[in-house]
Chain A
Amino acid sequence: MDLNILIAGEAGQGLKTIETILGKTLFRMGFQIYTTRDYMSRIRGGHNFVKIRIGKGDITGPAEEIDVLLALNEEAISQHKQDLKEDGIIVLDGQIAREDIYQLINIPARKIANEVNSKALNTVFVGAVLKVLNLKIAEALKVIKEHFTDKKLQEDNMILLKEGFKKADGKFSLPKIEDNDEQLFIDGNSAVALGALAAGVKFFSAYPMSPSTGIMNYLAAKQKEQGIVVEQAEDEIAAINMTLGASYAGVRAMTATSGGGLALMAESVGLAGITETPLVIVDVQRPGPATGLPTRTEQGDLLFSINIAQGEFPLMVISPRDSEDAFYQTFRAFNLADKYQLPVILLSDQFLADSTTNINHYNLNSLKIETSLITDGESVKYEDYKRYQITEDGISPRAYPGQLSGEVVLVDSDEHDENGDIVESASARSNMVDKRMKKLVRIKQELKEPVFFGQEDINYLIIGWGSTYGPILEARKLLMEDGYKIGYLSFTDLWPLPEKRVKKIITPDIKVVVVENNATGQFAQLLKGQLGITSDYRMLKYNGRPFSGREIYQRMKEEVII
């Protein structure tokens, strides 16, 4: 079962509210839901849409074909009619007159809403859509009660939901509902924020930048309850440097931004590198360069991230594959940053950040905090403390200022000796570079190999990284249904690059296809440069929109499997 609702209109028409209420209602009713957002960089006007895909257990990405088009204006129809299925339905306000072949369900939403509360117009449509899907409204009424804090608004919305429901006709029948009590319905940004909270983030600072701002919003909403600090910085440089200061003072700290902001932070990522200050930096990628497409998606910052800042220093780059993974990877990023005293960049993107879907309940009991900070009990051992003490594995005992009585903690952006004091001698420089780079030996043992789907006798191996996970998974399923033998490797650790599994799987008779949301095949370049693996085909997309599973499936058949 697979049904796709597309809600389209202009910015300011309240698409997000429909998405939230409808999405949550359908989730709670026991369906597998995948919502994606496509919006313009403006406050009002323009053309925006939200997709809500409904399925049963196996929905892992967006779909292109539309079953129900909820059109909030004329443009919604002209923009999307070509994607409407043959038996698709357009739900619209009766005041928008149309004469064409589509099945129309006219709901006099404005008229109905004006009699009750014109601000709650969209709820009429939510009721109508529920009727079109032949569902009940009890759960939606509960969601409305939770969503609106104002009593009057609650009641008005409930009345309008019922009215909308009454005015529509039932057209689709959905399968029996599953029990999804053990699931969460969460977007990528919230998952990252929640992972940070679980990891014990105590300080977060950022400059608002789409599409990363949701992370700051969620953390800010929880800061009082958690007793932590969220500060909006004057610019991205201040944001990352504030977090570095907090981390120096011993707490776990994070910043989040998008490409342009990361570019501003670049020098400071190097500062984290040479001062060996743990830091988690989230880059929610959007198409660049410069301002690019501020509200769209791309995987264009990979090579920039791994080469960020002048000079050489160890850092890690990790790209979560979905909202479930984003939580655990964020948690893990804090542990890695802390243990190895280095910056960790989490590469998310707008597609992941703004998509909401069902995931398995997070297993909090499995989470373990790992750190390299000296415990207060150990502090007596450190007389004549050296922040950059040369050790066998390159990891020095880390203390925070004021922790050791009689000792001070000195960190330095200049090349330094074990104390943290400036040195310019050739040997001291080499020793310190070696010390920092030595950490990679242990880090390599901690790398997460890519997840592999497939058997031994595959003809094609699709390789992807980060958020393309869901769409590629769906494409593979469709190709397998057609009888093709397809394997799929999904990478999340990108730098350093894990090499064992990919080298083991690739044999000369397997065709390798690298699927990426960018124009130059950045990961394919990395595979070639780091591991000597040549891809037979690079399937790229860089129009600012995410892949759908069917799209990859079709392109595989048209461009690869000829």
Chain B
Amino acid sequence: MSKEDIYYSNQETAWCPGCGNFPLRKALAGALNELGLLPPQVAIFTGIGQAAKMLHYIRVNGFNGLHGRSIPPAIGSRIVNPTLKVLVESGDGCTYGEGGNHFLHNIRRNPDITHLVHNNQIYGLTKGQASPTTGEGMTTKIQTEGINSEPLNPIKLALSLGASFVARGFVGEEDHLRELIKSAIKHRGYALLDILQPCVSFNKVNTYQWYKQRVYKLADNYDDSDYNKALKKANEWGEQIPIGIFYRKEKKIFRDRFSQLDDRPLVEKEINPLGVKPFLLDFK
């Protein structure tokens, strides 16, 4: 078994002191370590934002792409190489805002990828504008009279679209979070893990304190195969915020739908231009 520090790069981080991304990284490295996944076996795909910088501070394969576009390249890589453990990491703005369309259709595809959303309910890197999950009424420099749209509920949205693994974690519960990440990676299919992660610089409402007073773990006897129960739990937000696996179901994954594929990465398949010879008959 490898040691946790093989996953740490020696890069100086650009995160603020006290940022929720630090415990998140620790939980992620711990999860990879406990699953025995070595750096070359894992690839993380990110968008843009503070969360997306994760792959510079953790040593695995990485594709740091465009804002909101972390999911499509992850799908592309995963489908041509089934031996790769693929994770997507991005923030609430990147996933639920700019990348909303990919989020929807990714759930329909059910690719075997783990999606970690660093949800701090604010746009941190651009210094404090509303994100799709910011609470209604919060004022910012742009939303001067308070946010005028209802916040998006990622858990409910993912459930309603038929996601095969839906969970929420909190960086203040690090051991719990590490276990959730492990479960998400082990899940065969699309796993959404929405992670409550305070932005200490720009979100003065949803602080560590705020979350600690509200967050509670789903009970040990909670049945994560009960879809209606999951939907009910998804509606809980405010005084009581549940964390844990809301729903889990084994379904066909995206790759299963391509009967022509086997367990080998397509890169290992030889290229032979003469292989198209029979196709020329289509044009005779």
Chain A contacts to B: CB under 8 angstroms:
28, 184-186, 190, 194, 197-200, 202-203, 205, 222-229, 231, 233-235, 237-239, 241-253, 267-268, 271, 275, 331, 361-362, 364-365, 367, 369, 400-414, 420-422
Contact = CB atoms under 8 A, between A and B. Distances in A.
Nearest to A424: B14
A251 B80 contact: yes
9 contacts: A186-B283, A202-B266, A224-B259, A229-B80, A242-B75, A245-B72, A248-B63, A404-B40, A422-B14
B77 A402 contact: no
A410 B271 contact: no
B249 interface: no
A21 B63 CA distance: 48
Given A199-B271, A227-B261, A364-B273, A402 B75 contact: no
Interface residues of B, number: 60
Interface in B159-205: none
A540 to B, nearest CB: 33
B266 A271 contact: no
Nearest to B83: A402
Interface in B244-274: 258-262, 265-267, 269, 271-274
B260 A249 contact: no
A197 B276 contact: yes
Interface stretch (B53-61, B139-147, B214-222): B53-61
B231 interface: no
B73 A241 contact: yes
Contact of B39 (A190, A198, A364, A408): A408
B84 interface: yes
B153 interface: no
Nearest to A190: B283
B76 A250 contact: no
A365 B260 contact: no
B134 to A, nearest CB: 25
A404 B39 CA distance: 11
Interface in B74-102: 74-81, 83-84, 101-102
A330 B107 CA distance: 33
The DSSP consensus for interface residues of chain A is mixed
Contacts of B43: 401-402
Contacts of A409: 61-62
B265 A250 contact: yes
A223 B104 CA distance: 26
B61 A408 contact: yes
A194 B40 contact: no
A224 B260 contact: yes
Contacts of B282: 190
Interface in B91-129: 101-102, 104-105
Interface of B: 9, 11, 14, 38-41, 43, 45, 48, 53, 55-56, 59-66, 69, 71-81, 83-84, 101-102, 104-105, 258-262, 265-267, 269, 271-277, 279-280, 282-284
Contacts of A242: 72-73, 75-76
A561 B31 CA distance: 77
B159 to A, nearest CB: 20
Contacts of B84: 249, 401-402
A420 B62 contact: yes
Contacts of A234: 101-102, 104-105
Contacts of B276: 194, 197-198, 364
A409 B60 CA distance: 8
Contact of A249 (B59, B77, B102, B274): B77
A245 B76 contact: yes
A248 B273 contact: no
A228 B74 contact: no
A246 B273 CA distance: 20
A229 B79 contact: yes
Contact of B81 (A243, A244, A401, A408): A401
B227 to A, nearest CB: 25
- Nearest 6 A/B pairs, CB to CB: A245-B76, A245-B73, A200-B271, A241-B72, A401-B61, A250-B267
Given A228-B260, A267-B66, A401-B40, A369 B271 contact: yes
B283 A185 contact: yes
Contacts of B64: 410-414, 420, 422
A362 B72 contact: no
B77 A367 contact: no
B74 A406 contact: no
B261 A185 contact: no
A15 to B, nearest CB: 20
Given A246-B77, A364-B277, A408-B60, 6 more contacts: A28-B284, A184-B280, A406-B38, A406-B40, A408-B59, A413-B64
